[in-house]
Amino acid sequence: MGIIKVENIRVFAYHGCLKEETKIGSNYRVDLKVKSDLQKSAKTDRLSDTVDYVFLNRIIKEEMNKPSYLLETVCRRILDRIFNEDKLVKKATVWVGKLNPPIGGDVECVTIKMTDKRKK
Domain borders along the chain are 2-117
**CA triplet 80, 83, 85: central angle to 5 degrees?**
100
Q: Over the stretch 20-65, which tens digit does the pLDDT of each residue have?
A: 888 899 999 999 999 999 999 999 999 999 999 999 999 999 999 9
Q: Helix, strand, or coil here: 72?
A: helix
pLDDT class of 18 with cuts at 50, 70, 90: confident
> What does the alpha-carbon distance between residue 114 and residue 62 come to, in Å, rounded to a whole number?
18
| 80 CB-near residues (< 8 Å, 6+ apart) | none
> What does the alpha-carbon distance between residue 97 and residue 47 come to, in Å, rounded to a whole number?
30
> What does the alpha-carbon distance between residue 36 and residue 96 come to, in Å, rounded to a whole number?
21
| 73 CB-near residues (< 8 Å, 6+ apart) | none
Q: Which amino acid, one-letter code, is at 97?
A: G
Domain 2-117 has CATH 3.30.1130.10: yes
Task: List, as one string, the DSSP characters of 40-52.
Answer: HHHHH--GGGS--
**CA triplet 66, 72, 75: central angle to 5 degrees?**
65
**CA triplet 48, 54, 59: central angle to 5 degrees?**
110
Q: Over the stretch 72-113, which tens digit does the pLDDT of each residue have?
A: 999 999 999 999 999 999 999 999 999 988 888 899 999 999
The pTM assigned to this predicted structure is 0.93
